[in-house]
């Protein structure tokens, strides 16, 4: 019985660990099975240093055609599930072909790795980074072990950050002017603004501000666009009259936002919009959508 079980088990355990694993920041990552695990966080240009431990199961010998570790940056489009597009692929050979009898440790290092894109888990697309250890074998399948890690890239505050100001309306019905203090926000930012009512001839019920994420994947005829409303934030209860101004203050921190991604390797893009919605007493909705740019501000350590 024991024997039988063992026959289908890999003959060894593979552990991948980072040199600074204890001190490095861990962030949650949602796996395919829906479970959330904590994984190490990196940013572009960092050295990814660690070791791989291969531990043959007691009393077993592992024959192999070589051991390698790869650092892969992959984009997976869900309409094309299973096909990974590697935009980054680095390899380190860890061992020449031979046999393993006992636990062996292989240090590895990828220096100043270029990781231009952030890890992303979207509706139709996933961008992930993994370390993949492959123990190549003849006749039987290779032993493969993967370790996810997350990449986030930080941007300094933009030098130009204009406010968004716009007058919109329906002729002789509704004229408003809104103003958001900035067009670029970091993920923990606050949207400050005001809405001025210049003309109100419809019976408004309320007004809200939505944060919408627009993810578009693929290209050409195969473009898929998915829009999610991440936040619905009520700005006004009741009807403002002409001359009134309503303040906006929306904290972004409670929402799971990412930076804006424009054309990630020609595969996908993620954009954010502020959607101002006015609802009248008959539940008709009047809205105006404005794109904002999200960026990840380097947090003070």
Partner 1 sequence: MLNGIDDEEKWLAEGIAGIQHNAFYMHQALDSNNLREALKYSAQMLSELRTSKLSPHKYYELYMRAFDELRKLEMFFKEDSKHGVSVIDLYELVQHAGNILPRLYLLCTVGSVYIKSKEAPAKEVLKDLVEMCRGVQHPIRGLFLRSYLAQISRDKLPDIGSEYEGDADTVMDAVEFVLQNFTEMNKLWVQMQHQGPGRFREKQEKERSELRDLVGKNLHVLSQIEGVDLGIYKETVLTRVLEQVVNCKDDLAQYYLMDCIIQVFPDEYHLQTLETLLGACPQLQVIEAQVDMPAVGAITLYVSLLTFTLCVHPDRLDYVDQVLGACVKKLYNIPKLEDSRAMKQVVALLSAPLEKYNDIVTALTLSNYPRVMDHLDNGTNKVMAMVIIQSIMKNNTFISTAHKVEVLFELIKGLIKDKDGADVDELDEEDFKDEQNSVARLIHMLYNDEPEEMLKIICIVRKHTMAGGPKRLPFTVPSLVFSALRLVWRLQGQEGDIVGEEVPATPKKIFQLLTQIIEALSAVPSPELALRLYLQCAEAANGCDLELVAYEFFTQAFVLYEEEIADSKAQVTAIHLIIGTLQRMNVFGVENRDTMTHKTTGYSARLLKKPDQCRAVYACSHLFWVDDQDGIKDGERVLLCLKRALRIANAAQQMANVARGSSGPVILFVEILNKYLYFFEKGNQQITGAAIQDLIELINTEMQSDSATPDTASDAFLASTLRYIQFQKQKGGVMGEKFEAIKF
Tally of CA atoms within 13 A in the half-sphere of 143 that contains its CB: 19
Encoded one letter per residue, x for contact with partner 1 by CB under 8 A and - for no contact, window 250-279 reads -x-xx-------------------------
Stretch that binds partner 1, among 43-51, 145-153, 159-167, 237-245 (CB under 8 A): 237-245
Residues 187-226 that bind partner 1 (CB under 8 A): 206
Question: Which one, 44 or 181, has the nearer CB to partner 1?
Answer: 181
How far is Cα 168 from Cα 170, in angstroms, rounded to an integer?
A: 7
User: Please, which residues have CB within 8 angstroms of residue 140's CB and are 6 or more apart in sequence?
Assistant: none
Cα 42 to Cα 16, 64, 132, 253, 269, distances in angstroms: 15, 31, 16, 21, 21
Question: Which one, 178 or 261, has the nearer CB to partner 1?
Answer: 178
Question: Which one, 11 or 193, has the nearer CB to partner 1?
Answer: 193
Q: Which of 93, 167, 244, 299 binds partner 1 (CB under 8 A)?
A: 244
Cα 294 to Cα 117, 133, 157, 261, distances in angstroms: 14, 35, 11, 9
How far is Cα 280 from Cα 287, in angstroms, rounded to an integer?
A: 11
Stretch that binds partner 1, among 133-141, 150-158, 165-173, 245-253 (CB under 8 A): 245-253
Q: Which of 225, 224, 223, 293 is nearest to 258 (CA)?
A: 293
User: SS3 of 221, please?
Assistant: helix
Q: Which of 246, 279, 297, 298 binds partner 1 (CB under 8 A)?
A: 246
Residues 145-184 that bind partner 1 (CB under 8 A): none
Q: Which of 240, 264, 270, 294 binds partner 1 (CB under 8 A)?
A: 240
**Applying CB under 8 A, what is the total number of residues that bind partner 1?**
20
Longest dimension (CA), the chain: 86
Residue 285 in contact with partner 1, rule: CB under 8 A: no
How far is Cα 98 from Cα 66, in angstroms, rounded to an integer?
A: 7
Q: Which of 237, 284, 285, 289 binds partner 1 (CB under 8 A)?
A: 237
Stretch that binds partner 1, among 104-112, 156-164, 231-239, 288-296 (CB under 8 A): 231-239
Question: Which one, 237 or 299, has the nearer CB to partner 1?
Answer: 237
Beta-bridge partner residues of 76: 84, 126
Continuous segment of H or E residues that includes residue 5: helix 2-8
Residue 249 in contact with partner 1, rule: CB under 8 A: yes
The binding site for partner 1 (CB under 8 A) comprises 206, 231-241, 244-247, 249, 251, 253-254
């Amino acid at each position: 019985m024991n024997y039988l079980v063992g026959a289908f088990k890999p003959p060894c355990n593979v552990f991948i660990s980072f040199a600074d694993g204890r001190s490095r920041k861990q962030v949650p990552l949602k796996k395919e099975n829906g479970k959330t695990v904590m994984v190490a966080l990196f940013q572009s240009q960092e050295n990814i240093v660690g070791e791989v431990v291969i531990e043959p199961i007691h009393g077993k010998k592992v024959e192999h055609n070589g051991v390698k570790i790869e650092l892969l940056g992959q984009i997976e489009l869900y309409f094309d599930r299973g096909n990974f597009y590697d935009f980054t692929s680095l390899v380190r050979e860890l061992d020449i072909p031979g046999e393993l009898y006992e636990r062996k440790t292989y240090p590895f290092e990828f220096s100043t790795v270029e990781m231009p894109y952030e890890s992303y888990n979207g509706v139709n697309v996933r961008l992930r980074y993994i370390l993949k250890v492959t123990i190549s074998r003849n006749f039987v399948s290779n032993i493969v072990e993967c370790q996810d890690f997350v990449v986030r890239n930080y941007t300094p505050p933009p030098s130009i950050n204009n406010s968004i100001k716009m007058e919109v309306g329906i002729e002789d019905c509704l004229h408003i002017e809104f103003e958001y203090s900035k067009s670029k926000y970091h993920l923990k930012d606050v949207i400050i603004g005001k809405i001025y009512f210049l003309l109100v001839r419809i019976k408004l019920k309320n007004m809200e501000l939505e944060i919408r994420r627009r993810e578009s994947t693929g290209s050409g005829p195969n473009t898929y666009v998915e829009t999610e409303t991440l936040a619905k934030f009520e700005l006004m209860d009741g009807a403002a009259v002409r001359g009134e101004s309503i303040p906006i203050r929306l904290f972004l921190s409670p929402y799971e936002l990412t930076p804006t991604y424009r054309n990630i390797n020609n595969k996908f893009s993620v954009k954010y919009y502020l959607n101002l919605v006015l609802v009248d007493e008959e539940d008709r909705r009047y809205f105006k959508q404005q794109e904002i740019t999200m960026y990840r501000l380097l947090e003070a350590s």
